[in-house]
Structure 1
Amino acid sequence: MSVTVRALDCTPEQVFAVLEDPWVYPTWVVGASRLRAADPTYPRQGARLHHSIGVWPFVLDDETVVDTWDAPRRMVLEAKTRPFGRERVIIDVKPRGAGCVVRMEEYPIGGPARFIPRPIADLILHIRNVETLRRLEYVAKGRAAE
């Protein structure tokens, strides 16, 4: 399982303001290229984001389902990332001083990704999620400045 932790210069509430807006999902999730639709109940449990991954012309349509929404503390997602399979993504946010610490855990739960040797899969996910959390902070700080 890949675990990535980052101290952010924004509050948990600012982070969750980004997480609850489905239309900014492709701006902070590395690999997501566009959002096609979001269930009107998003981000409640069971709601789906209909997104695409990849770079044109190699774009695949996929979806992510909310498993847990406990703002401003925790969000759990099940992401489909064809052709690799399904991943569980856990985002935990804790206040720290004027900012917060975000812990992002991701691991495969289905499909061929389960068979990639764990150290290799963890390294790839960690590199991706370092950038994902950096983008999440930029979007949260940008929204707070508005």
Structure 2
Amino acid sequence: MSVTVRELDCTPEQVFVALADPWVYPTWVVGASRLRAAEPSYPRPGSKLHHSIGVWPFVLDDETVVETWDPPRRMVLEAKTRPVGKERVIIDVKPRGAGCVVRMEEYPVSGPARLIPKPLADLMLHIRNVETLRRLEHVARGRAAEQARGE
């Protein structure tokens, strides 16, 4: 299980505004190249995002399902990423001063990814998720700036 923690210069509520917008998903999730569709009920539990992963022309269509939506504290996703299988992604957010701390936990639940030696899988996911959380902070701060300007 890979665990990545980052202090963000935005509030938990601002993080969840970004998480609630399906159309910015490929902006902050490293590896997601585009969003093809989002169910109207997103981000309610059971709703799906239909996205693609990879770089053109090597792009695969997959989906992510919301398991838990508890703003501004927690979101749990099950991400299907062919050909490696499914991963569970847990995002916990806690206030800290004027900002927050985000803890992102990710681990494979099915497929060939479960066969990768744990230390190697954890390292690869951690490297990816350091950038993922950096991007999430940028999206959350950008959304907050838009709201402040009344956009």
| Pairwise same-fold verdict (TM > 0.5) | yes
1:39 equivalent to 2:39? Answer yes
Cα deviation per residue 1:90-128 (whole Å; 9 max; x = unaligned)? 000000000000000000000000000000000000000
Q: How many residues align?
A: 146
Cα deviation per residue 1:18-72 (whole Å; 9 max; x = unaligned)? 0000000000000000000001100000000000000000000000000000000
| 2:149 paired residue number | none
CA distance in structure 2 between the partners assigned to 1:118 and 1:12 by the alignment: 30
1:76-91 → structure 2 map (5 Å cutoff): 76-91=76-91
Secondary structure of the corresponding residue to residue 41 of structure 1: coil
1:1-146 → structure 2 map (5 Å cutoff): 1-146=1-146
Q: Which runs of 4+ in 1 moved over 3 A?
A: none
CA distance in structure 2 between the partners assigned to 1:86 and 1:30 by the alignment: 16
Q: Which amino acid aligns with 2:25?
A: Y
**Gaps spanning 5+ residues in structure 1: where?**
none
Secondary structure of the corresponding residue to residue 63 of structure 1: strand
Q: Which amino acid aligns with 1:114?
A: R
TM-score normalised according to structure 2 size = 0.96
Cα root mean square deviation, aligned: 0.3
Q: Which amino acid aligns with 1:35?
A: L
